[in-house]
Structure formats: structure tokens, C-alpha cells
Homo-oligomer: A and B are copies of this chain.
Amino acid sequence: MNLKHSRQRDSILEFLATRKDHPTADTVYMNVRQSFPNISLGTVYRNLTLLADIGEISRIRLGDGVDHFDYDTSPHYHFICSECGGVFDLNMEVTDTLTKAAQENFEGKIEGHVTYFYGRCNNCNPKH
């Protein structure tokens, strides 16, 4: 399974690199279409999946029913706003304390954990 170069794939990756808000496949599609009017949603999905598989990007599942994609593959936490659905990076350390604590009373092998935070983002949180 050798990779060949593809201008569409480049464009998808390039677009993702400009965004900090973890767009969905559809958002990627809408935007990449400006450079490739004939690109299909299928191609976008295929490439996002491929890029995620080879570790160039990461796929984020936040329980909102849609996959988000992140150009930044370094370990970090996410926040999702219950109001507007926006996704933000959190500026905090990633710890394995939780994983260790979980392992203590569990017989299988715990390899990691997924955590995301929810609430109101700065825009949606009413000030008083």
C-alpha cells in the first residue's frame, strides 16, 4: 500500500493546518472546494481517514455525532461548547494519573483514555 502524491490530499492537509477549530469533514469539503471545485465529499472522507490512519492528523470524537479533525496531533485536551458546538484546545497538561488510577482495580490492560470537557465557551457564557 504505497502512497502516491495527490493535489487534493495536499489541499486538505493545507487547509486543516490553517484551522485551530477542528473542522468536520463537511467543513473541509466546503473549503477545499474553493480550490478544487470538482472534489467530492467521498475524496475528502477518504483522505481524512487515510491521513488519520498514518498519523498525520487526528480524528476527534466528541459525542456530538460528527467526526472532527485536528492538524495538531500532539496530545492535548479539547473543550466543546454545549451551546454553539465550537471546539477549542485547552491549555493544560496531559496526565496519566487517571489511567494509572483506573488500572488499579481493573484486570485487563488499560492503554489510555479519552477525555473532553464541555460547558459554555466565552462567547456563549452570559456575563453579569
Chain A residues with a Cβ under 8 A of chain B: 61, 63, 77, 79, 81-82, 88, 90-93, 98-99, 101-102, 104-125
Residue pair A118, B107 in contact (C-beta under 8 Å): no
Residue pair A109, B105 in contact (C-beta under 8 Å): no
In the complex, what's the smallest C-beta–C-beta distance from A33 to chain B, in angstroms? 26
- Choose from B77, B91, B101, B108 the contact partner of A92 (Cβ within 8 Å): B101
In the complex, what's the smallest C-beta–C-beta distance from A10 to chain B, in angstroms? 28
In the complex, what's the smallest C-beta–C-beta distance from A86 to chain B, in angstroms? 9
Task: Select from chain B the residue with minimum beta-carbon distance to A59.
Answer: B63
**6 closest Cβ pairs, A-B complex:** A61-B63, A111-B119, A108-B121, A107-B122, A91-B105, A110-B119
